Structure 1
Amino acid sequence: MPLAILALALGAFAIGTTEFVIMGLLPEVATDLDVPISTAGYLISAYALGVVIGAPLLTALGTRLPRKTMLLVFMGVFLVGNLATVLTSSYGAVFASRVLAGLPHGAYLGLAALVAAHLAGPARRATAVARVMLGLTVANIVGVPAGTLLGQLLGWRVAFLVVVALSALTILGVARFVPHTPASRVGGLRGELSALRHPQVVLGLTTAVFGFAGVFAVYSYISPMMTELAGMPSAGVPIVLALFGVGMTLGSLVVGPIADRWLRPTIYVSLASLAGVLALFTLTVHNPWTAAVTVVVLGAVGFGVTAPLQVLVMSKAEAAPTIASATNHSAFNLANAGGAWLGGLGIGMGLGYVSPAVIGVVLALVGLGIAVTAGLVDREGPGAAPTPEHRDRAAGADAEPVSHG
Structure 2
Amino acid sequence: MRTAERTPSSSSSSRTATTVTATPPNGKLPLLALLALATAVFITSLTETLPAGLLPAMSGDLGVSESATGQTITVYAVGTFLTAIPLTAATAGWGRKRLLLTSMAGFAVANTVTAVSSDYALTMVARALAGVAAGLAWALLVGYARRMAPAGLEGKAIAIAMAGIPVALSLGVPAGTFLGEVLGWRVAFLAMTALSVVVLGWIAAVVPDHPGQARGARAPMLRVLKVPGVTPALFVTTVFVLAHTILYAYIATFLDHLGMGGSADLVLLTFGIASLAGIWFVGAHIHRRLRALTIASALLVAASAAVFAVFSDSPALVYVAAALWGLGWGGVPTLLQTAVGQAGGESADAAQAMLVTLWNVAMAGGGVVGGLLLDGLGHFSLPWSVLLLLAPVLAVVVGARVHGFPAKRAS
Do both share a fold (TM > 0.5)? Answer: yes
Q: Aligned partners of 2:137 and 2:225: how far apart in 1? A: 18
C-alpha change, 1:122 and 1:310, in structure 2 (3 Å) is: farther
Q: Which runs of 5+ in 2 are unaligned?
A: 1-29
Does 1:261 find its partner at 2:288?
Answer: yes
Cα deviation digits, residues 348-392 of structure 1 (max 9, x gap): 10x22121111111122222223233336x3x985133x22xxxx
Q: Hey, what does 1:273 align to over in structure 2? A: 300
Q: Hey, what does 1:18 align to over in structure 2? A: 47
8 A Cα contact 1:201 1:317, kept in partner:
yes
C-alpha change, 1:266 and 1:93, in structure 2 (3 Å) is: same
Q: Hey, what does 1:78 align to over in structure 2? A: 107
TM-score normalised according to structure 1 size: 0.89
Q: Hey, what does 1:149 align to over in structure 2? A: 178
Q: Aligned partners of 1:50 and 1:189: how far apart in 2? A: 24
Q: Which runs of 5+ in 1 are unaligned?
A: 389-405
Tell me by how many angstroms 1:153 deviates: 2.3
Q: Could you say what secondary structure the match of 2:400 adopts? A: helix
| Aligned-residue RMSD, C-alpha | 2.0
Q: Aligned partners of 1:107 and 1:197: how far apart in 2? A: 23
8 A Cα contact 1:19 1:47, kept in partner:
yes
Q: Could you say what secondary structure the match of 1:182 adopts? A: coil
C-alpha change, 1:286 and 1:29, in structure 2 (3 Å) is: farther
Q: Could you say what secondary structure the match of 1:35 adopts? A: coil
8 A Cα contact 2:253 2:261, kept in partner:
no
8 A Cα contact 1:282 1:358, kept in partner:
yes
Q: Could you say what secondary structure the match of 1:114 adopts? A: helix
Aligned residues: 382
8 A Cα contact 1:281 1:291, kept in partner:
yes
Q: Hey, what does 1:221 align to over in structure 2? A: 250
Q: Hey, what does 1:97 align to over in structure 2? A: 126
C-alpha change, 1:382 and 1:72, in structure 2 (3 Å) is: closer
Cα deviation digits, residues 141-174 of structure 1 (max 9, x gap): 2211111111122222222111111111111111
Q: Hey, what does 2:94 align to over in structure 1? A: 65
Q: Aligned partners of 1:67 and 1:104: how far apart in 2? A: 14
Tell me by how many angstroms 1:42 deviates: 1.4
Cα deviation digits, residues 17-56 of structure 1 (max 9, x gap): 1111211111222222222222222111111111212322
Q: Could you say what secondary structure the match of 1:73 adopts? A: helix
Q: Hey, what does 1:286 align to over in structure 2? A: 313
Structure 2 residue corresponding to 1:232, chosen from 256, 260, 273: 260
8 A Cα contact 1:77 1:100, kept in partner:
yes
Q: Hey, what does 2:356 align to over in structure 1? A: 329
Q: Could you say what secondary structure the match of 1:321 adopts? A: helix
Q: Aligned partners of 2:100 and 2:61: how far apart in 1? A: 34
Does 1:355 find its partner at 2:381?
Answer: yes
Tell me by how many angstroms 1:189 deviates: 4.7
The one-letter code sitting in structure 2 at the alignment partner of 1:352 is G
Structure 1 residue corresponding to 2:408, chosen from 371, 376, 384: 384
**Identity of aligned pairs, percent?**
33
C-alpha change, 1:219 and 1:203, in structure 2 (3 Å) is: same
8 A Cα contact 1:225 1:285, kept in partner:
no
